């Protein structure tokens, strides 16, 4: 999926309040930003995915927190 399609899906997931999709799509956006060596953008997207994962009590919260911790953007939490 190209970036334009990813943006479109993110907007639709927000409109639909589809939290599992938001977690997945923000995580995907973070991975793409990191592949492009844009750490700030990657952490921005990871933070959004993490917040939605926390709100949804999703199992991905631990992995997202770990990634933010490894990038120096969060304290490591215990879930």
Domain ranges of the chain: 3-70
The whole-number pLDDT of residue 1 equals 83
CB 46 within 8 A of CB 67: yes
Whether this model's pTM surpasses 0.85? yes
pLDDT, tens only, 35-51:
999 999 999 999 999 99
Whether residue 77 contacts residue 42, with contact meaning beta carbons closer than 8 Å, is answered with: no
């Amino acid at each position: 999926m190209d970036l334009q399609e990813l943006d479109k899906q993110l907007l639709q997931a927000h409109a639909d309040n589809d939290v599992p999709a938001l977690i997945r799509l923000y995580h995907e956006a973070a991975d793409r930003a990191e592949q492009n060596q844009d750490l700030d953008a990657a952490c921005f997207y990871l933070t959004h995915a993490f917040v939605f994962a926390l709100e949804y009590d999703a199992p991905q919260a631990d992995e997202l927190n770990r990634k933010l911790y490894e990038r120096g953007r969060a304290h490591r939490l215990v879930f």
